[in-house]
């Protein structure tokens, strides 16, 4: 993720060539139909019209065709797909700098617009580097920050599929699933968290996510057990202890 050149794909070529080809074809059809009507009138009114001079050549139509092309090109640049293509090109060009800032704790945090551009640039890169686990993880984190559940879940799913033993991939995927509005996603996220807890009973973040998911799924006994395990792991003066104790009391009242 140091340098990047936007790929010249068939879709990119189509976006640029097809509108121009359509404009040229339309201009040719207009000119051809105009010339045909002129010939028909000349045939019908041949006896009534005095002998004419030489017919106008193609040069007579050039200014009109050029003007039509210019107007169409301006219209396309303002209302067609060009603005989207340009935004994509800008996002991919800015991706290295945005990524460096996102990874630097001392740098200025990215705003929402910059995060959206980073996500677009990462998606473009991953089209050509689909096996990059770290790239999918970064896209997943970006999706979570933007509140884009589809982007986050899909990215973490790819990272987890590529490397099921990667803790960040598994935990990120589980978190995205538990935050989904789909009950089936919540269930799958809970199952994944249960497997993670069985592997490591001392991971505070895993226990916290597991307890929250269990509480949301009304598995209050499991939630209490996870929170009690967290209390054993946290130091006496940790501010999180008070929140966990309140959560335990709330779950026990259910």
Query: What is residue 95's predicted lDDT score, i.e. its pLDDT?
Result: 82
Distance (Å, rounded) from C-alpha 254 to C-alpha 252?
A: 5
Q: Judge residue 234's burial from the number of C-beta atoms within 10 Å of its C-beta, 0-12 exposed, 13-18 middle, 19 or more buried.
A: middle
The top-scoring range by mean pLDDT among 68-72, 153-157, 236-240 is 153-157
State mean pLDDT over 123-131: 91
In the structure, what pLDDT confidence band is assigned to residue 34 with cuts at 50, 70 and 90?
low
Mean residue pLDDT of the chain comes to: 79
Query: What is residue 94's predicted lDDT score, i.e. its pLDDT?
Result: 78
- Of 111, 112, 162, 114, the C-alpha closest to 136 is 162
Whether residue 163 has pLDDT greater than 90: yes
State mean pLDDT over 188-209: 92
Whether residue 166 has pLDDT greater than 50: yes
In the structure, what pLDDT confidence band is assigned to residue 18 with cuts at 50, 70 and 90?
low
For the chain, domain boundaries: 10-48+57-80
């Amino acid at each position: 993720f140091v340098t990047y050149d936007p790929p010249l794909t068939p879709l990119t070529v189509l976006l640029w060539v097809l509108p121009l080809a359509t404009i040229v074809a339309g201009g040719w059809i207009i000119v051809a139909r105009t010339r045909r009507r002129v010939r028909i009138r000349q045939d019908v009114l041949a006896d009534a019209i005095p002998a004419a001079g030489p017919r106008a050549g193609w040069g007579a139509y050039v200014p009109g065709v050029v003007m039509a092309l210019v107007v169409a090109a301006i219209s396309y640049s303002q209302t067609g797909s060009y603005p989207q293509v340009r935004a994509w090109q800008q996002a991919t060009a800015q991706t290295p700098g945005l990524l460096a800032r996102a990874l630097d704790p001392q740098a200025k945090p990215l705003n929402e617009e910059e995060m959206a551009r980073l996500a677009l640039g990462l998606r473009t890169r991953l089209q050509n580097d689909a096996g990059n686990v770290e790239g999918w993880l970064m896209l997943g984190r970006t999706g979570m920050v933007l509140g884009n559940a589809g982007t986050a879940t899909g990215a973490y799913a790819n990272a987890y599929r590529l490397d099921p033993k990667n803790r960040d991939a598994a935990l990120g995927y589980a978190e995205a699933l538990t935050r989904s509005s789909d009950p089936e996603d919540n269930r799958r996220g809970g199952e994944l968290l249960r497997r993670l807890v069985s592997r490591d009973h001392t991971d505070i973040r895993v226990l916290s996510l597991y307890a929250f998911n269990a509480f949301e799924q009304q598995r209050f006994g499991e939630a209490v057990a996870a929170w009690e395990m967290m209390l054993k792991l946290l130091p006496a003066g940790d501010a999180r202890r008070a929140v966990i104790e309140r959560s335990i009391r709330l779950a026990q009242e259910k």
